[in-house]
Amino acid sequence: MRRTVQSLRQFRAAFRHNRGDIICIGLAKRQSFLLERNRGAFYKFSYNADICRYGHNSYRTSRALSTDAAKVTNGESNREGPLVEYERRIAAGELMDGDACQVGTLRELQRLYDQLVDSADACRLDRYAASKKAERSRWLWSRFMPQSSYSPVKGLYLYGGVGTGKTMLMDLFFDQLPCNWRKKRIHFHDLMLNVHSRLQKHKGVADPLEVVAGEISDESILLCLDEFMVTDVADALILNRLFGHLFSNGAILVATSNRAPDNLYAGGLQRDLFLPFISTLKERCVAHEIGSSVDYRKMTSAEQGFYYIGKDLSDLLMQKFQELVGEHRAGPEEVEVVMGRTLQVPLGANGCAYFPFGELCDKPLGAADYFGLCKNFHTLALDGVPVFGLHNRTAAYRFVTLVDVMYDNKARLLCTAEGTPLELFESIVTISEAQQMAPRTSSRSRRTDDFDLCVDNELGFAKDRTISRLTEMNSREYLEHHVAVFTEKQLLQNDGYKESLQA
């Protein structure tokens, strides 16, 4: 069994190398929004990139060179891990140029990888080492004899600015882990939806969080969480107890975030109840900052895309939507989301869904609805994204969540908007940004100065990530990767269907 798993893992790694590696042959000297008027009716935006071909950032390793990452010695040829894989690609001439900050992060990931390999038995990582029955017995016995079994290895909390490659680096780490380990890579939003769904299932139990933590740690002792971001008070109030149980069960956390641990849930409701979680997080994880100032998502060669700027472009968007639908007939659909809820889709066909902006972001919807949408549709046409401000702050929060979910699921976005991604969020500022604004003068009235300015720390902090992701989602690389991912998924589904017929 182990030989089979190892062979499959080697095949997967070779397949990904052949499919995903694109070598950068030059750096873009400038990126700028180009607004081009077309037929006097609508605008498109793109980027001007000089002689540069960038691989998709989510599947591209760091290009940084360092003295100890330039070659692999013969004595280390049998080693494995994220930094070693990076070194091998450097030595093979597959990668060149880059960011020293990412190399520093890879060293931390390699250190964690080596520790996990050396302590695999103590960490109970091998899913085949003990039967599920033994795991359940140990979990049941712990109900009568409470005990803690903290992992001998601390996790890793990576944080830094938008587009610095946090997700890509964590994915590189995760893909190097043995297939037989109890591991899971999941978006933070998705994890919390899963937790709340399980809590509903165990409603009435004395301590449902303990049961949920037991189930999660039995399934995956190593959790890789992308985009650790706490904005919901319900999540904030349960995180300390949830992760307290998880860590007591031996769970190891690897997480990425835009915020340092001490800045999580800053200014949130009842944050004093959240502070113990920060202490727990810092105790069980090594915090490492990625200090790069480069936003790799914007280093793309986008030319056309599906982001249309202007007003009265509904007909254009519908035309593009119909072109993607093809011969299929679009009509109203109903899709299922978590806990038995359903979402009404105005128009859907051939994996594509169409929504006016208000239907998705002005109604009381959340991450669960957007995850359900992405599980049923790979492409979303969104009509009429407005400029955000104080008057539609709630819609801005929902739009940020929608983009996060779509990006994590590699979905394709067609949209009409009142401005570029940067212009959509110009009126959203943090408290510190508001304090740095020029003071009023006699020529600037209060009404003009404060008009629709939204001072919101969480939203002001999240807007940079959304702008960055919208930029990448409009790039040629992202769109090509989207097609590749969903073509492969369709082939796998067809193969599974044929196997079911043969059975």
> Residue-wise pLDDT tens for the chain (503 aa)?
445 545 544 444 444 444 333 323 232 333 333 333 333 333 333 333 332 323 333 333 333 334 344 433 344 445 688 888 877 766 776 654 556 777 888 899 999 999 999 999 999 999 887 545 444 445 555 555 455 689 999 999 999 877 677 888 888 899 999 999 999 999 898 899 899 989 989 988 889 999 999 999 999 999 999 989 888 888 899 999 999 999 999 999 999 998 899 989 887 888 899 999 999 999 999 999 987 655 555 555 544 578 999 888 999 999 999 999 999 999 999 998 877 789 999 999 999 999 999 999 999 998 889 999 999 999 999 999 999 999 999 999 999 999 999 998 899 999 999 998 989 999 998 887 888 776 554 444 444 445 678 988 888 888 888 998 898 888 888 888 888 888 877 777 666 545 554 55
Contacts of 366 by beta carbon, 8 Å cutoff, 6+ apart: 398, 401
Q: What is the pLDDT of residue 53?
A: 29
Rounded Cα distance between 118 and 173, Å, is 16
Rounded Cα distance between 404 and 398, Å, is 10
Neighbours of 31 (CB within 10 A): 18
Tokens of 370: 């957007």
Q: What is the pLDDT of residue 495?
A: 60
Task: Domain 101-290: give its CATH code.
Answer: 3.40.50.300
Cα-based angle 451, 452, 454 (whole degrees, multiple of 5) = 125
The HSE-up count of residue 156 (CA atoms within 13 Å, CB side) is 24
List 126's β-bridge partners, or say none: 181
The separation between CA 171 and the C-alpha centre of its own chain, rounded to angstroms, equals 10
The residue extents of the domains of the chain are 101-290, 302-493
Rounded Cα distance between 317 and 383, Å, is 7
Q: What residue type is assigned to position 189 of the chain?
A: H
Q: What is the DSSP letter of 348?
A: E
Neighbours of 482 (CB within 10 A): 19
Q: Are 190 and 401 in contact (CB under 8 A)?
A: no
Q: What residue type is assigned to position 87 of the chain?
A: E
Q: What is the pLDDT of residue 476?
A: 81
Q: Are 153 and 117 in contact (CB under 8 A)?
A: no
Length of the chain: 503
Cα-based angle 169, 124, 7 (whole degrees, multiple of 5) = 60
Q: What is the DSSP letter of 181?
A: B
Q: What is the pLDDT of residue 62?
A: 37
* Site of tokens 């093809």: 326
Q: What is the pLDDT of residue 280?
A: 95
Q: Are 23 and 283 in contact (CB under 8 A)?
A: no
